[in-house]
Amino acid sequence: MAESPAPVPLRVAMLIPGKIDDGGFMEAGYNGLLSIEQELSAEISYIDQIQPEPELLAAALRELAQQNPDLVIAHGGQNSAAAAEVAQEFPNVRFVVVQGNVTGDNLSSYEILQEQSAWLAGAAAGLLTESNVVGHISGIQVTPGLKGRAAFAHGLRTTNPEARFLTTFSGSQDDADLAKQVALAQINEGADIIFTMLNAARTGAIEANKETGTFQMGNVRDWYEVEPEVFIASALANVSKAGLRAAQDVASGNWQPGTIVKIGVEDPDAVSLALAPTVPVEVVEQVNALAEQIKSGEIEVSTEYEGEEFEVAP
């Protein structure tokens, strides 16, 4: 009796524009790819360290699509335009943008609602600041980063309407020296807590906090575990779950093109606020109550920011 042929493994390719060991968003994407390999016994490949320029991102996506995988995952909202373009060139390949906002006949987006945990971080910052000045630093102005900034500001205003908010997009997610310069400028203006949405550049902001005795709130992962003297909270947004969920949907036959799949605080493994053990219990209780209000829909998280930008002289 002839043996049944072995099942063909799922083949998944990922574009990771940054460094796979950046300790932040890009590393989370890579970890998601490893989870796809381990949990789904998939064959994986990836391209990393591509500058966030549309033509370079598109070229990398074409290279991956030419392998004819079952799924190409573009990790990061900065890939949205390139993915929309390249997906049309490869109609028989499935494409997914993590933290994207694009769809097509063979394209969908999977979005971890990091703005929800960013909102909670802002609310906590409003309760914890002693100087009544709170900062925010990110790099490039991509949609997820803009949403996160707006949500953080909204959360801050909710718990502390009188707080001054300093926000800067430095232009680089990975330039640590630049991030330190911006952080010190915000600290010199009175900021005692800074929310960072950075990749490798976060180390520069950490240095600034250490030198000045100020605090930071991180994102993506729990940074208190890495730098407990600096981090008082982290807006967890486990973006590794987005790519894994997309691959699971492909494997199970549930993947749908033309859709945006949203994952928020209803899945605390994906989206939540981690508070340091030094945070007063009454603040923890207030933040937990606010998270329940987001989950129930009682609080609608704002993703539009109309305030000032804090410019830092070169």
In a domain, 246, yes or no: yes
pLDDT at 81 over 60: yes
Where residue 8 falls among pLDDT bands split at 50, 70, 90? confident
Residues 173 and 287 in one domain: yes
Helices (H), ranges, the chain: 25-40, 54-65, 80-89, 114-128, 143-159, 176-188, 202-212, 240-252, 281-296
Q: What is the CATH number of the domain that holds 107?
A: 3.40.50.2300
Structure tokens at 186: 């915000």
pLDDT at 144 over 90: no
- Residue whose C-alpha is closest to residue 10's, from 93, 68, 64, 69: 69
Residues 135 and 231 in one domain: yes
pLDDT at 314 over 80: no
Mean pLDDT across 163-177: 96
- Cα 154 to its chain centre, rounded Å, is 18
Query: pLDDT digit string (tens) for 275-297?
Result: 999 999 999 999 999 999 999 99
Residues 57 and 131 in one domain: no
- Residue whose C-alpha is closest to residue 174's, from 150, 197, 154: 197
Mean pLDDT across 42-53: 96
Residues ≥6 apart with Cβ < 8 Å to 312: 168, 170, 181, 182, 185
Mean pLDDT across 162-166: 98
In a domain, 6, yes or no: no
Residues 70 and 157 in one domain: no
pLDDT at 4 over 60: no
Residue 143, pLDDT score: 83
Structure tokens at 166: 């300093």
In a domain, 203, yes or no: yes
Round to whole Å and give the CA distance between 24 and 255.
Answer: 27
Helix (H, G, I), strand (E, B) or coil at 244: helix
pLDDT at 82 over 60: yes
In a domain, 308, yes or no: no
In a domain, 56, yes or no: yes
Residues 89 and 154 in one domain: no
Residues 34 and 157 in one domain: no
253 sits in the region (left: phi over 0; alpha: psi -120 to 50; else beta) called left
In a domain, 271, yes or no: no
Proportion of the chain in helix, strand, coil states, percent, rounded to 5? 40, 20, 35
pLDDT at 142 over 90: no
Round to whole Å and give the CA distance between 107 and 14.
Answer: 14
Round to whole Å and give the CA distance between 146 and 150.
Answer: 6
pLDDT at 3 over 80: no
In a domain, 273, yes or no: no
Q: What is the residue range of 62's domain? A: 11-112+239-263
Residues 102 and 172 in one domain: no
Residues 287 and 208 in one domain: yes
Round to whole Å and give the CA distance between 261 and 252.
Answer: 16
Residue 6, pLDDT score: 62
- Cα 45 to its chain centre, rounded Å, is 22
**What pTM did the predictor assign?**
0.80
Total Cβ atoms within 10 A of residue 290: 21
Mean pLDDT of the chain: 95
Where residue 1 falls among pLDDT bands split at 50, 70, 90? very low
Residue 5, pLDDT score: 61
Residues 65 and 134 in one domain: no
Round to whole Å and give the CA distance between 194 and 122.
Answer: 10
Query: pLDDT digit string (tens) for 190-220?
Result: 999 999 999 889 999 999 999 999 999 999 8
Share of the chain above pLDDT 70, in %: 98
Residues 144 and 83 in one domain: no
- Residue whose C-alpha is closest to residue 239's, from 259, 216, 262: 262
pLDDT at 188 over 50: yes
In a domain, 311, yes or no: no
- Sign for the CA dihedral angle at 112, 66, 33, 195 comes to negative
Residues 244 and 291 in one domain: no
Residues 171 and 292 in one domain: yes
| DSSP state for residue 104 in the 8-state scheme | B
